[in-house]
Structure 1
Amino acid sequence: MTPLPPRDRPEADDARGHFAHLFSGHAATYAAFRPTYPTALYDWLAGVVRGHRQAWDVGTGNGQVAMALAARFERVMATDPSAAQLAAAPPHERVSYRETTYDSALPDGSVDLVTVGQALHWFALSPFFTEVRRVLAPGGVFAAFAYVHSRVTPEVDAVTMYYHDVTCAAHWAPEHHLIREGYRSMPLPIDEVQVPPFEIRSAMAVEQYLGFHRSWSATQRLLQAGGEADVLRFEAAVRDAWGAVGARDVVWPMFVRAGTLR
């Protein structure tokens, strides 16, 4: 890993502070329980780009996407506004981490692929795409992807949806609805390519499943507001719906918006 300094100039919006604080306070929980994107996604991304010299993963969090890209690109710049999240990211000789929102510090036209995993809804699109346009090589690809509600069993899903839609309703950031709609209302300046379907699959014990929901930003806000009892009730209801099964298959459908800049 090549460490780089934090940003050295002001950025055009306050997004850094906005989405950095949502995850900085529970970076270890986030790193421990977030699901892993499928290998097929990374193979597909590597197959749609012309070159494999440089990738830039924006909003890298704990470096999950950056590490996968490092197996497919010569160099990876991984940026995130949260120092706590970056501290949880593993080192890799091909990955350089930088604490910033959009300032990649990369040369003009040097990037073959820009990725944003589960984070584009936090971004101010105008300053972000100004930087993307500067660094992306001719024919380079931009790809934003995210996962939506998990599926386990009808009983577990009903408990989880009530928790998401009712218990946590007042604690979701306004941008959260963009994930639920698949980023379709976001005006991305790209000519989109056809994307195959992807999903995340994981065999999880009930405590792992509950740990994932503890990592939600809305759960953390609920806890900060004194809602520990609400979280415990949700967890008890999930355990009851889960039953005596040791592990269950959990599926997260995904969506991807990808293409070349107009």
Structure 2
Amino acid sequence: MSTSFSDHFKNVSRQYAESRPTYPPELFAWLAAQSPATGHAWDCATGNGQAALDLAQHFQQVTATDASAAQIGQAIRHERIDYRVAPAEASGLAAGSIDLVVVAQALHWFAVERFHAEATRVLKPGGVIAEWSYGVLTVEGAEVDALVQHFYHDVVGPWWPAERRHVENGYRELEFPFQPIAAPTFTMRINWNLERLLGYFRSWSATARYRENCADDPVAALAQRLRPVWGVPELERKVCWPLALRVGRAAASG
């Protein structure tokens, strides 16, 4: 895995902010309950601040960092969130200052060993780290879902960065040097109309790379195929993503 930062979302940061699905609220309540305290959480690679906003409902202070200035520029402001441009491997946070570290859909972009060393440095004794990813979506309706799967795997599939495989396998190949905590199963579910779904596809890094290299808009072509089988455009269909979550605890002092 590359140790240098490549901003795969710089050209789609606004679309990313407008189109990404949200995480289950019960996930953050459960993580807060596992933490030694609810004073200070670090949302690493915050993107547009989705996870940070949920953390702010449970923690007194949230530091949300991202190596992409474009992403931070799109983040939603909150009085308890301090947004900073910083790489995952060098947060600038004080040692032993953090109760909970979260990484939502971003670990595959990191120099993982260096990031885990940084997380170990900033966590309080007994502090908690949670890393999660969500894989390939499914959309209600067999004909619709077949077109979506074809788009993901075959149309833009060749343009996914190599790191994408770690999302698809739930980070199983990546190290995790923390004491594991058994976690419940969480699933992301949302009802979207056709335009919201198409907006999500436009936010993909693979879509951006396809457009840059092929001078064509693959989402426009997909839209033409989806509209006849979707129903009225305002119709909302259930969209689901499996959430792969791993949670661990830093060593206690002494």
TM-score normalized by the length of structure 2: 0.93
Residues 217-256 of structure 1 aligned to structure 2 (within 5 Å) = 217-244=205-232, 246-256=235-245
The range that moved more, 212-221 or 147-156, is 147-156
Give 2:93's aligned amino acid. L
- Choose which of 156, 159, 169 in structure 1 pairs with 2:147: 159
Aligned partners of 2:222, 2:77: CA distance in 1, in Å?
36
Equivalent pair of 1:15/1:122 in contact (CA under 8 Å) = no
**5+ unaligned residues in a row in structure 1: which ranges?**
1-12
- Choose which of 223, 236, 249 in structure 2 pairs with 1:260: 249
Map Cα deviations across residues 221-251 of structure 1 (whole Å, 9 max, x no partner): 1111125253322222222232236111111
- Choose which of 21, 33, 46 in structure 1 pairs with 2:19: 33
Equivalent pair of 1:77/1:104 in contact (CA under 8 Å) = no
Aligned partners of 2:198, 2:180: CA distance in 1, in Å?
36
CA apart distance, 1:261: 3.2
How many residue pairs are counted as aligned between the two chains? 247
2:112 corresponds to:
125
**5+ unaligned residues in a row in structure 2: which ranges?**
none
CA apart distance, 1:123: 0.6
2:43 corresponds to:
57
Residues 98-109 of structure 1 aligned to structure 2 (within 5 Å) = 98-102=84-88, 103-109=90-96
Equivalent pair of 1:58/1:78 in contact (CA under 8 Å) = yes
Change (3 A) 1:156 1:32: same
The answer to whether 1:141 aligns with 2:128 is: yes
The range that moved more, 252-261 or 111-120, is 252-261
The answer to whether 1:150 aligns with 2:137 is: yes
Give 2:17's aligned amino acid. A
- Choose which of 25, 30, 33 in structure 2 pairs with 1:47: 33
Map Cα deviations across residues 86-136 of structure 1 (whole Å, 9 max, x no partner): 011122121111111122222111100000000001110121111111110
CA apart distance, 1:14: 4.2
Equivalent pair of 1:15/1:101 in contact (CA under 8 Å) = no
Residue identity over aligned pairs, in percent, reads 40
RMSD value, Cα: 1.4
Give 2:4's aligned amino acid. A
Aligned partners of 1:42, 1:154: CA distance in 2, in Å?
32
Map Cα deviations across residues 65-90 of structure 1 (whole Å, 9 max, x no partner): 11111111111110001111101112
Equivalent pair of 1:173/1:218 in contact (CA under 8 Å) = yes
After TM superposition, the runs of 4+ consecutive aligned structure 1 residues lying more than 6 A away are none
Residues 13-24 of structure 1 aligned to structure 2 (within 5 Å) = 14-16=3-5, 18=6, 21-24=7-10
Aligned partners of 1:57, 1:169: CA distance in 2, in Å?
29
